[in-house]
A and B are shown apart, each in its own frame.
Chain A
Amino acid sequence: MTASLTGRTSREGATADRRPRRGEGTSLRDLVIALPWIAPALLLILGVVIFPAGVMFYNSTRDISQSGVDRGPAGFENFQSLLDFAPIWGVLARTLVWVVVVVVLTVLISLALAQLLDKAFPGRQLVRMAVIIPWAASVVMTTLVVYYGLDPFYGIINEVLVNVGVIETPYGWTKNAPSAFAWSIAIAVFVSLPFTTYTILAGLQTVPAEVLEAARMDGAGRTRTYFSVILPQLRSALAVAILINIINVFNSLPILKVMTGSIPGYEADTIMTLIFKYIQTDHRIDVASALSVVGFVIVLAIVAVYVRVVRPMREV
């Protein structure tokens, strides 16, 4: 029996659909058999990720000096300092806004882009290549070039805006919290577009032609077809893409750090940039660790809720 990946409309026999035989896969023996397959991965994860994570949790309850010397247990003092830190609520709110706006914009634009790239037209290949570039470039490099362009003195974006007449004198986009934050959102969307677009594109290509035909036969207009037929098919591709985007955007640091790094105060910070400020400027590793723990718990909660509600792992 041959199997091919193209044009399948049913997935008989995939693991999730198959009813396990009673007692199958639940014995110790099964675990032992599994070990050689998963052991290297387990080792790597435990060794390189879990241990430092443990250190991070540990540090959040210690009193660590400016030079990095552990001065003893601090209980929940570090967390208390976070609560006492007035701007923290703004930071939390801003983090939420950051994640929601970036992910929503990315998804909406990606859906449109994928539609375009799915249709045939001369030069499509070139456009597809172009869409890949932000993915290939490191986020820092892309952000640096935009930051350079926005500088009020030597930035060419300002120059263009002044020449075209949109603004009168060069504006310090990266020197003021609201504008810097807005531009950061734009960059974050820009660098997230390639991955999301391609994921949706892949999903689009699995929409069976017959279903589209049937919809057309039934007299559905383009919009109807899109919303009732295509979008549901994209559901799982979209679900996975959104989850990955949420996690990456939440943990994103370079964009905000470069774009808002020169702004005093905390009006443009998210949890990640605040952690970094605690480490680099205030040298408070203990409080930074506490905030990292908070951030981790939040993202864990978001993912848990998301997985519950959306069930992107349904096929798993």
Chain B
Amino acid sequence: MTTARARRYTADQVPLRSVILRMVVGLLVLLFFVAPYVVMLVSSLKSKREILRVPPTFLPEEWHPENYVTMWSTPETPLVQNLISTIIIAVCATLLVLAVALPAAYYTARFRFPGRMVFLFLVIVTQMLQPAVLTSGLFREFQFLGISDTWFAMILINAAFNLSFAVWIMHSFFAGVPKEVDEAAQLDGAGKWTVLTRINLPLVWPGIVTAIVFTFVSCWNEFAASLVILSTAGNQPLSVALTKFVGQYATSWHYVFGVSIVAIIPVVILFMLIEKRLVGGLTAGSVK
């Protein structure tokens, strides 16, 4: 099969030698990128004693797949609730970003109004401010509003800090759609909202998907603000729950890695589903 494919490539005037070279390089790249995560996976299957063994072992002497079962009921953290919290926060924040960024990106790409550049500037500024340095103010604010330690608070926070990226991506996409399309639709009597949803959206869908995935991943892995805002153990996302395994007297690395794998797999699957769209989605703004 490989030879047939290679022959196909060579039919396009690509020498077999080049194809082989690419495959070798590709393999090296693949191994390089996958290596840390393989280590993570293998380490997560070791026992607590073995994972701190001096000197270390590569493959586990005894395999402990039950780590993946026991981790759900460890005393350090209610992992099931952590997982649910992570999912809810990430999904809701992403939806919120979508609902808020879409109209804003569309309008600023399409129409002029006073303060347009100011608005865009504000959006960029938020990209430069990270939750990590703003934790004190965030805590105080949500205390004051009375919604501290709720998912709602984290959803708002995540949405706000991911807004800038989403607006930016979607904005460049909308800007890339020729105006004539809009005008044609408007001539047919469509209002702004219809133009957005029926005409533009289908065209910019890859950009939207990109923005969605970016936001989702960012919310999924958020740590600094979650640490301060969410105090009840069950409300905390996986990123914070992970730190609970780093104790004062021993670090349960096998659980650290196990939880990491659990946290990574859904996102990897998500990425793989949209991988084809991703390339198209990043064409935003780069088209002349």
Contact = CB atoms under 8 A, between A and B. Distances in A.
Direct contact of A and B (CB under 8 A): yes
Interface of A: 1-3, 5, 8-16, 18, 20, 24-28, 30-31, 33-34, 36-38, 40-42, 44-45, 47-56, 59, 113, 116, 119-124, 126-142, 144-146, 148-149, 153-156, 159, 170, 198-199, 201-203, 205-206, 233-234, 236-237, 240, 244, 247, 251, 253-254, 272, 275-276, 285, 288-289, 292, 295-296, 299-300, 303, 315-316
B112 A142 contact: no
Interface string B75-112: 00000000000000000000000011101101111111
Contacts of A144: 256-257, 260
Contacts of A10: 288
Given A116-B22, A138-B220, A300-B128, A48 B161 contact: yes
Interface in B43-91: 43, 51-56, 58
A254 B287 CA distance: 34
A148 B27 contact: no
B37 A133 contact: yes
A28 B115 CA distance: 10
Contacts of B114: 25-28, 30-31
Contacts of A136: 217, 264, 267-268, 270-271
A25 B33 contact: no
Nearest to A124: B26
B25 to A, nearest CB: 6
Given A120-B14, A134-B36, A236-B286, 8 more contacts: A11-B178, A13-B179, A48-B141, A127-B26, A138-B221, A140-B242, A156-B56, A159-B56
B282 A202 contact: yes
B29 A41 contact: no
B209 interface: no
Nearest first, the 4 A-B pairs at minimum CB distance are: A25-B112, A52-B137, A55-B137, A138-B221
5 contacts: A44-B100, A51-B137, A124-B26, A236-B285, A316-B120
B260 A145 contact: yes
B160 A44 contact: yes
Contacts of B263: 137-138, 141
A203 B286 contact: yes
Which label, helix, strand, loop or mixed, suits the secondary structure of the A interface? helix
Nearest to B200: A3
A53 B126 CA distance: 10
A130 B288 CA distance: 30
B191 to A, nearest CB: 12
B150 to A, nearest CB: 14
Interface residues of B, number: 113
Contacts of B275: 128-129, 132
A153 B260 contact: no
> Among the interface residues B111, B137, B217, B270, which one has the most CB atoms of the partner chain A within 10 A?
B137
Contacts of A201: 279, 282
B201 interface: no
A143 to B, nearest CB: 9
A276 B6 CA distance: 53
Interface of B: 2, 5-6, 9, 12, 14, 19, 22-23, 25-27, 29-30, 33-34, 36-37, 39-40, 43, 51-56, 58, 99-101, 103-104, 106-116, 119-120, 122-130, 132-138, 140-141, 156-157, 159-161, 163, 165, 167, 171-172, 175-181, 184, 203, 206, 217, 220-221, 223-224, 239, 242, 253, 256-257, 260, 263-264, 267-268, 270-272, 275, 278-283, 285-288
Contact of A52 (B138, B180, B278): B138
A154 B54 contact: yes
Contacts of A24: 112
Nearest to B30: A130
Given A52-B138, A132-B268, A30 B34 contact: no
A3 to B, nearest CB: 5
A12 B119 CA distance: 25
B66 to A, nearest CB: 21
Contacts of A159: 55-56, 58
Contact of B175 (A15, A48, A149): A15
A1 B279 contact: no
B279 A41 contact: no
Contacts of B160: 44-45, 47-49
B257 to A, nearest CB: 7
Contacts of B133: 56, 272, 275, 288-289, 292, 295-296
A15 B33 contact: no
A61 to B, nearest CB: 14
A1 to B, nearest CB: 5
A253 B283 CA distance: 29
B203 A48 contact: no
Contacts of A247: 127-128
A52 B260 contact: no
A11 B156 contact: no
Most buried by B among A12, A44, A116: A44
